Structure 1
């Protein structure tokens, strides 16, 4: 007889491409995942995966079974959620993904408050900038982005504001830019996975581009913030990363007379006309926890 935990293990391995990643996601040992897969294959009388030392691939039977297996897992979770919702319960497992920097500084604390309020919810929080925008394997993903996410329901939580910042010592040495033309004569700290070394600004209905030579390129917004505090150059960063340094005077906001860079922070989840009770409760809690405008922008001299 097939067991649900074996089907869950199979879907996790197929979606994540390895037993190691599936074990991390399900918070199980690799041996437990392997045992569940073996038991599932025995029950089906078919080999679902080809395993060797270098890679793991689905067999033809595995590819055929995967679509139904995914539906089984989704329907089992939905059934559990529906029963909990009928009873008015906010309980059960909740799998959340979000950007690492925002998760470390703000989302984590908000989730801890949510768990204190709802002690029967068990949260798995995966903070990783490289997680796909698809919600596969998660009940919800937090994204800081403009535009739509196909096939997902999206609800706004709050707003992210990005500003140019630099250390007072840097501005004293190199001067304070007051226009886009001024920026081109400065040193920049860029996020290296965001494309060209450009900054884009809106001025009325016009999009203006400033190409500023990088002094440092890095894949961590928190490292960018620390480099700016150290006086290495100007950085374009969201205020949820810089608010403490701004209030302490370690960084200053640079106003070049353009419109503020605003992006929604959203929660996305599989498109369902009736979200689970725990997801509905989470959305409400996060909105209250962050505020709009968000608490980290309170008291900052943000250009209008």
Structure 2
């Protein structure tokens, strides 16, 4: 008889592309994952994975079994969640990805409160600033900044944030403060490298994009804030990064007469995901923790 643990090992290996990556995802030793794969192949009487010294690939049988394995685990997960909900308890694994800076600054404490509320849920959080593919990377849900355009996903909005142009007092004393988009374009910018045309502003005639000379390009908001604090340029950052620095006077918000495009926080997950009840509970908990309006938006 097939064991769910073997199916989980096969699915993780197929999605992760290697046994070592699958073992990391499952929190198991590589030898354990290999043994479970071998047991599954023995039970099925078919080779599912072709292993070589350089790469791992699915056999024809493996490709055929893959959608069935996904369906088996999803149905098992749904059954577990349904029974837990009937008993008034949410239980089971929940693997989440989130951006590094927001995770450190705001998500960690909120997630701990969620675990106090639901101690039977086993949460695994990966912090990563790259764009994560939920299905391919094996996540149950992903926290993202900005709208989620993938129609295969359900996106639950968690909170909103203004984005403010900020600079240090020392920078403004040396270079002056821009008061219009035209003046802003002449200043060095600290730019977020994962988003093209990042400096977008709502004007009476529509959206206007400013492309300043880069002082620094980086894919991490905390480093952008640190760069602004040192005075090397102007940064456009969500208030959840800079509200404390503005309150202390270490950073100064700039007024260029128009408002920058805001930032929205979403939790996205696959439409047919079996952990939907756990994810909705997480959404509700995070919304309570962040507040409406969120605590970082206090003026």
TM-score under structure 2 length normalisation: 0.93
Q: 1:99 deviation in Å?
A: 1.5
Q: Does 1:148 align with 2:185?
A: no
RMSD between aligned residues: 1.9
* 1:115-159 Cα distance to aligned partner (Å, 9 max, x none): 112222221112212252435633322111125331222221110
- What's 1:302 paired with? none
**Structure 1 residues without counterparts, runs of 5 or longer:** 300-304
Q: Does 1:158 align with 2:156?
A: no
Alignment length, in residue pairs?
298
- What's 2:52 paired with? 52
TM-score under structure 1 length normalisation: 0.92
- What's 1:200 paired with? 200
- What's 1:123 paired with? 123
Q: 1:195 deviation in Å?
A: 2.8
> What does 1:1-304 correspond to in 2, within 5 Å?
1-135=1-135, 137-195=138-196, 199-271=199-271, 276-299=276-299
Distance (Å, rounded) in 1 between the aligned partners of 2:212 and 2:273:
46
Could you tell me whether the CA contact under 8 Å between 1:91 and 1:118 is conserved in 2?
Answer: yes
Q: 1:248 deviation in Å?
A: 1.7
Deviates more, 1:268-277 or 1:35-44: 268-277
Distance (Å, rounded) in 2 between the aligned partners of 1:283 and 1:172:
43
SS at match of 1:62: helix
Could you tell me whether the CA contact under 8 Å between 1:133 and 1:149 is conserved in 2?
Answer: no
Q: 1:202 deviation in Å?
A: 1.1
SS at match of 2:165: strand
Alpha-carbon distance change, 277 to 67 in structure 1, aligned in 2, over 3 angstroms: closer
Distance (Å, rounded) in 1 between the aligned partners of 2:272 and 2:57:
31
**Structure 2 residues without counterparts, runs of 5 or longer:** none
